[in-house]
């Protein structure tokens, strides 16, 4: 086959209208049917763009000139919005941002989850936005570096780089951040304390972590340093402690050559080990190493939705999986009979137990471990200890990381058959995949709502309510077992049961090994996932599948597609 006649060439300049927006916030335009992703373009813009990367059916281009601005284009509040990797869509009106995020969630539910549009019309509720979509972050981590003149600088990394854009006044952070950062920079210059250089591994100050309690107004500063001790630390403490609300000043040594920001420990220089803040009426202690939602205004709305969807009446048994420091667990415990929280990070569970104690909450119990291991182990142990009786929960809440829930966890959720499952998601692609599994195993979608936790960015949280399906009607049937007329043979039942024994799980590795042995070439898991998707099969545990879902789909060659299809037939998947 010859070259695609419409394919663009690198450095080619084109004029196009932006008609859609990609999952990462890029404007999407078409030139003679060829798709271009153009950063910083907004739907409705007429733009001139220069192609930077050209694939067969799509490419990427740099915005050169806005020929005719979209009615939804606004001036960015931050002068560095285009350079910085933090705000991808600050030049889009906030109303359109909410539309984009709701459409992003819906698109994934349709494309990946296979949910019909008419169902989504019925269950999707309007996205929950903010009245003031700036200055909402209670936490910021600022990297430090050195400019061309040898002076220390701090700010944020430019998109997809480790080059620091000097800026102490981020529009998404609280105003006091600027005062704190200026004090730190002055201290560094006056005392000749160098910034960390990640290329050489030398220097001292790597990052500054700043937390602010929106309700309590308490402030925390933690410097991440490439040493055990901070030079002249008392001079810095003297300046910082004078800021109204300053509560905790600490350092976290991190002498590893790594992209991980925080060290594993911290040492208090002045004040307390933590600050306190509230979500609703629940009080939380937050240390430098604690995970805590960065947008407290929207977090209260998010958790209130989760509590509403859980529909607790006072006596229910609730499991909160991926519970962190117990933020959702303690919200639920106010109305539940008993809450069990599971989290893999030991420090988070220590914080969760402490938060339960300071709030006087006695009906919340927390376990350290992987949710996909703790819940199945609990289910199996309960069954053994109770003569085969099945462990139950009235409500299960899951709030997993971006990769979503492990299949073993979802299998156990289905076995425990809670009346309601509340899914809080930070990635609607894996949410759609997991919802498809649950809805194929006895659940139905009742409500879906996007919550804008991160205005000016492409990220969106989603809360979903799934309920156990109820039968439309019930009939009573009398059955007699045995031999003879009008009776059902037990031998026949046993023979029939053999045909319906569950098949062993077919893994991607088994398919890869079969193809390599029979055809002599290797196939990537992403290709297996794509073939399964094209056949209407559930795509579940392919390594890196989450990332594949977000990118333009890669198709295997016809030869590899046929080989994968043959393997699926061999293993009786199709």
| pLDDT tens sequence across 238-296 | 999 999 999 999 999 999 999 999 999 999 999 999 999 999 999 999 999 988 999 99
**pLDDT > 90? residue 1:** no
pLDDT band at 494 (very low <50, low <70, confident <90, very high): low
**What value does the mean pLDDT take over residues 343-358?**
94
**pLDDT > 90? residue 505:** no
Alpha helix positions (H), 311-441:
327-333, 346-358, 371-385, 407-416, 428-439
Between these two residues, 6 and 315, which has the higher pLDDT value? 315
What's the confidence (pLDDT) of residue 528? 86
**pLDDT > 90? residue 67:** yes
Q: What is d(CA 121, CA 30) in angstroms, rounded to the nearest whole number?
A: 29
Least confident of 225-234, 300-309, 521-530: 521-530
**pLDDT > 50? residue 60:** yes
Contact present, 463 and 306 (Cβ < 8 Å): yes
Q: What is d(CA 349, CA 197) in angstroms, rounded to the nearest whole number?
A: 34
**What value does the mean pLDDT take over residues 125-131?**
97
**What value does the mean pLDDT take over residues 102-114?**
96
**Nearest Cα residue to 338 out of 366, 318, 358:** 318
**What value does the mean pLDDT take over residues 549-560?**
62
**Nearest Cα residue to 395 out of 420, 378, 413, 416:** 420
Q: What is d(CA 79, CA 62) in angstroms, rounded to the nearest whole number?
A: 19
**pLDDT > 60? residue 145:** yes
**pLDDT > 60? residue 551:** no
**What value does the mean pLDDT take over residues 31-40?**
95
**What value does the mean pLDDT take over residues 192-216?**
97
pLDDT band at 58 (very low <50, low <70, confident <90, very high): very high
What's the confidence (pLDDT) of residue 355? 96
**pLDDT > 50? residue 85:** yes
**pLDDT > 60? residue 546:** no
**What value does the mean pLDDT take over residues 128-156?**
97
Contact present, 240 and 271 (Cβ < 8 Å): no
Verify whether residue 439 is a known catalytic residue. Answer: no
Give the pairing of strands 152-157 and 164-166: antiparallel
What's the confidence (pLDDT) of residue 518? 80
What's the confidence (pLDDT) of residue 550? 38
Q: What is d(CA 156, CA 167) in angstroms, rounded to the nearest whole number?
A: 7
pTM of the shown model: 0.80
What's the confidence (pLDDT) of residue 542? 43
Least confident of 79-83, 271-275, 309-313, 494-498: 494-498
Contact present, 256 and 243 (Cβ < 8 Å): no
What's the confidence (pLDDT) of residue 487? 66
Least confident of 231-235, 330-334, 396-400, 489-493: 489-493
**pLDDT > 90? residue 400:** yes
pLDDT band at 403 (very low <50, low <70, confident <90, very high): very high
Cα distances (Å, whole numbers) of residue 492 to 176, 210, 480: 76, 70, 13
What's the confidence (pLDDT) of residue 503? 55
What's the confidence (pLDDT) of residue 571? 80
pLDDT band at 149 (very low <50, low <70, confident <90, very high): very high
**pLDDT > 90? residue 508:** no
With 0-12 / 13-18 / 19 or more C-beta atoms within 10 angstroms meaning exposed / middle / buried, residue 227 is middle
Read off the pLDDT of residues 411-430 as tens digits, 9 standing for 90 and up.
999 999 999 999 999 999 99
pLDDT band at 514 (very low <50, low <70, confident <90, very high): confident
Contact present, 264 and 232 (Cβ < 8 Å): no
pLDDT band at 498 (very low <50, low <70, confident <90, very high): low
Q: What is d(CA 458, CA 54) in angstroms, rounded to the nearest whole number?
A: 24
Question: Which string of DSSP letters, residue by residue, matches 132-178?
Answer: S-SS--SEEEEEEEE-TTS-EEEEEEBTTS--EEE-S--TTS-THHH
Contact present, 409 and 371 (Cβ < 8 Å): yes
Torsion of CA 278, 280, 281, 285, to 10 degrees: -20
pLDDT band at 572 (very low <50, low <70, confident <90, very high): confident
Q: What is d(CA 318, CA 420) in angstroms, rounded to the nearest whole number?
A: 10
Torsion of CA 49, 51, 54, 57, to 10 degrees: 20
Give the active site residue among 78, 170, 323, 426.
426
Reading the block at residue 353, the tokens are 């137990």
**pLDDT > 50? residue 541:** no
**pLDDT > 90? residue 137:** yes
**What value does the mean pLDDT take over residues 334-356?**
95
What's the confidence (pLDDT) of residue 14? 97
Q: How many CA atoms, within 13 angstroms, populate the side-chain half-sphere of residue 421?
A: 31
Least confident of 149-153, 514-518, 545-549: 545-549
What's the confidence (pLDDT) of residue 396? 98
Average pLDDT, the chain: 90
Of the chain, the percentage scoring pLDDT greater than 70 comes to 89
**pLDDT > 70? residue 219:** yes
Give the pairing of strands 267-271 and 246-253: antiparallel
SS3 content of the chain, % helix, strand, coil (to 5): 30, 25, 45
pLDDT band at 171 (very low <50, low <70, confident <90, very high): very high
What's the confidence (pLDDT) of residue 275? 97
Contact present, 141 and 157 (Cβ < 8 Å): no
**pLDDT > 70? residue 545:** no
């Amino acid at each position: 086959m010859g070259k695609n006649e419409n394919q663009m060439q690198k450095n080619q300049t084109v004029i196009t209208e932006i008609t859609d927006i990609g999952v990462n916030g890029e404007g999407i335009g078409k030139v003679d049917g060829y798709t271009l992703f153009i950063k910083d373009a907004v739907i409705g813009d007429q733009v001139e763009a220069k192609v930077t990367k050209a694939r067969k059916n799509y490419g990427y281009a740099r915005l050169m000139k806005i020929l005719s601005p979209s009615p939804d284009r606004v001036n960015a509040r931050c002068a560095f919005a285009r350079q910085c990797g933090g705000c991808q869509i600050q030049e889009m009106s906030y109303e359109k941002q909410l539309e984009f995020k709701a459409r992003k969630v819906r698109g994934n539910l349709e494309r990946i989850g296979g949910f019909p549009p008419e169902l989504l019309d019925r269950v999707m509720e309007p996205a929950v936005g903010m009245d003031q979509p700036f200055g909402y972050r209670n936490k910021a981590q600022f990297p430090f570096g050195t400019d061309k003149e040898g002076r220390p600088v701090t700010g944020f990394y430019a998109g997809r780089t480790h080059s620091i854009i000097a800026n102490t006044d981020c529009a998404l952070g609280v105003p006091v951040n600027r005062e704190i950062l200026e004090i730190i920079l002055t201290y560094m210059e006056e005392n000749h304390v160098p910034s960390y250089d990640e290329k050489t591994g030398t220097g001292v100050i790597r990052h500054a972590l700043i937390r602010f309690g929106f309700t309590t107004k308490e402030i925390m500063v933690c410097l991440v340093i490439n040493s055990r001790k901070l030079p002249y630390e008392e001079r810095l403490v003297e300046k910082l402690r004078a800021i109204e609300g300053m509560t905790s000043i600490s350092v976290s040594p991190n002498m590893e050559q790594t992209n991980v920001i925080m060290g594993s420990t911290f040492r208090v220089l002045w004040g307390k080990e933590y600050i306190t803040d509230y979500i609703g009426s629940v009080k939380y202690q937050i240390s430098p190493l604690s995970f805590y939602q960065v947008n407290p205004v929207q977090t209260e709305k998010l958790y209130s939705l989760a509590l509403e969807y859980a529909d607790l009446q006072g006596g229910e048994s609730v499991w909160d999986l991926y519970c962190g420091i117990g933020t959702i667990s303690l919200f639920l415990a106010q109305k539940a009979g008993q809450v069990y929280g599971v989290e893999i990070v030991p420090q988070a569970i220590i914080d969760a137990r402490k938060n339960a104690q300071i709030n006087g909450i006695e009906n919340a119990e927390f376990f350290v471990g992987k949710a996909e291991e703790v819940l199945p182990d609990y289910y199996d142990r309960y069954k053994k200890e109770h003569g085969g009786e099945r462990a139950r929960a009235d409500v299960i809440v899951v709030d997993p990381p971006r990769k979503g829930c492990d299949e073993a966890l979802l299998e156990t959720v289905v076995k425990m058959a809670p009346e309601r499952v509340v899914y809080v998601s930070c990635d609607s692609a894996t949410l759609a995949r997991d919802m498809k599994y649950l809805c194929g195993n006895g659940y139905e979608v009742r409500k879906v709502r996007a919550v804008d936790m991160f205005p000016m960015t492409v990220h969106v949280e989603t809360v979903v309510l799934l309920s156990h399906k109820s039968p439309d009607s019930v009939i009573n049937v009398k059955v007699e077992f045995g031999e003879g007329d009008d009776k059902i043979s037990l031998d026949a039942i046993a023979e029939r049961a053999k045909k319906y024994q569950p098949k062993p799980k077919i893994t991607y590795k088994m398919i890869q090994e079969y193809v390599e042995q029979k055809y002599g070439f290797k196939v990537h898991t992403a290709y297996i996932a794509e073939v399964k998707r094209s056949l209407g099969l559930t795509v579940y545990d392919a390594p890196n599948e989450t990332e594949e879902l977000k990118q333009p789909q890669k198709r295997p060659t016809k030869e590899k597609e046929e080989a994968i299809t043959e393997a699926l037939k061999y293993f009786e998947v199709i």
